[in-house]
Amino acid sequence: MNVVFAFAVAGILYFTGLPVPVNPAVVGHVDPESREYALGIRDGDRVVEVAGKPVKSWEDVHEIVMLSRVNTMPVVFEREGRRATYDLTAEVNPVIGLKMLKLDPQDHPVVREVMKDSAAEAVGLKPGDTVLSFAQVPIAGREQFIKLIQQRPEQPTELVIRRGEETLTLTITPRLNPATQMGLIGASIGSSSQVVYVVQKPGPTPWANFVDVWNKTIGTIGALIYSKQTGVGAKDLSGPVGIFAMLAAQVSTDYRLALNFLVLLNINLAILNLLPIPVLDGGTF
């Protein structure tokens, strides 16, 4: 029934269309002393392919790198219509334990408002501050930043911001939200450039949607199985609260994104229910 429901929702998306992000993964500052600069990567270069897979956003880049079983992978950059391929090595972030490429995104979220008596006020965050990194992870978007904050309640964490022409490194401790058991800093965060969605209409066929979700699910399972190579573990999976938060975020953006998330959720549930593990309630020995 999970599969049937997923195909039914995917059928609706085929007729209503599916919003897809078109914000490209553009590189921001490249340190002249870095290996990336020596290879020829420059500010403004656009990442179009990672490990043989096309990418449309930094989210795609991070997902492919984190799930990869190898640390060195080919990355294709585009500059003024010309493409160049470089073998880049991803390094495990010591804070979150996942692999990241040493590339700084061009766009970063911006602090819009700081609440009184909050963790953000305690460390001196101000409206207009641009968030460059959190927990040593380059921040490319509002949702990524919020998700990282939620994962680190009561944990002192390095926060790098840009204020005018000055770059500041702060140590902030997200406070525990008793209602959600997640971290929060007490600041309103906006995007330096709003994510642009274009409605693909007709949307992907139900079968194409199923294949995409299947590939993502198998990729995640493979990353868990080969956790020593990927760094992905059970700690990186979301429970019911995290799933609900993600669904709510999709609803607030576009109901069709929420429907697409339901396709992903139901196919995952179908796979889990087929596994012969009693705790998952779908199988018997």
Q: What is the pLDDT of residues 215-260, one digit of tens each?
A: 888 888 787 787 777 777 766 666 666 777 777 777 877 888 888 8
**Which superfamily, per CATH, for 23-103?**
PDZ domain (2.30.42.10)
Q: Specify the range with the lowest mean pLDDT, choosing from 32-36, 69-73, 189-193.
A: 189-193
Residue 86 has pLDDT above 60, yes or no: yes
State how far the alpha carbon of 73 is from the alpha carbons of 98, 218, 253, in Å: 15, 20, 33
- What is the phi-psi region of residue 176: left when phi exceeds 0, alpha when psi lies from -120 to 50, beta otherwise? beta
If you search the block for the tokens 């573990």, which residue do you land on?
Answer: 233
Nearest to 101 by CA among 49, 157, 148: 49
The per-residue pLDDT for range 116-134, each reduced to its tens digit, is 999 999 999 999 999 999 9
Highest mean pLDDT among 72-86, 180-194, 265-279: 72-86
Mean pLDDT of 189-206: 75
Collapsed DSSP state (helix, strand, coil) of residue 18: strand
Q: Say what the pLDDT of residue 285 is.
A: 44
Decide: 132 and 160 in contact? Cβ < 8 Å. yes
Listed by start position, the domains of the chain span 1-21+198-285, 23-103, 109-191
State how far the alpha carbon of 94 is from the alpha carbons of 58, 91, 136, 206, in Å: 20, 9, 8, 40
- Which uninterrupted H or E stretch holds 220? helix 206-225
Q: Say what the pLDDT of residue 224 is.
A: 78
Locate 56 and state its tokens: 């449309």
23-103 and 109-191 have identical folds: yes
Residue 88 has pLDDT above 80, yes or no: yes
Question: What CATH code is assigned to 109-191?
Answer: 2.30.42.10
Residue 203 has pLDDT above 70, yes or no: yes
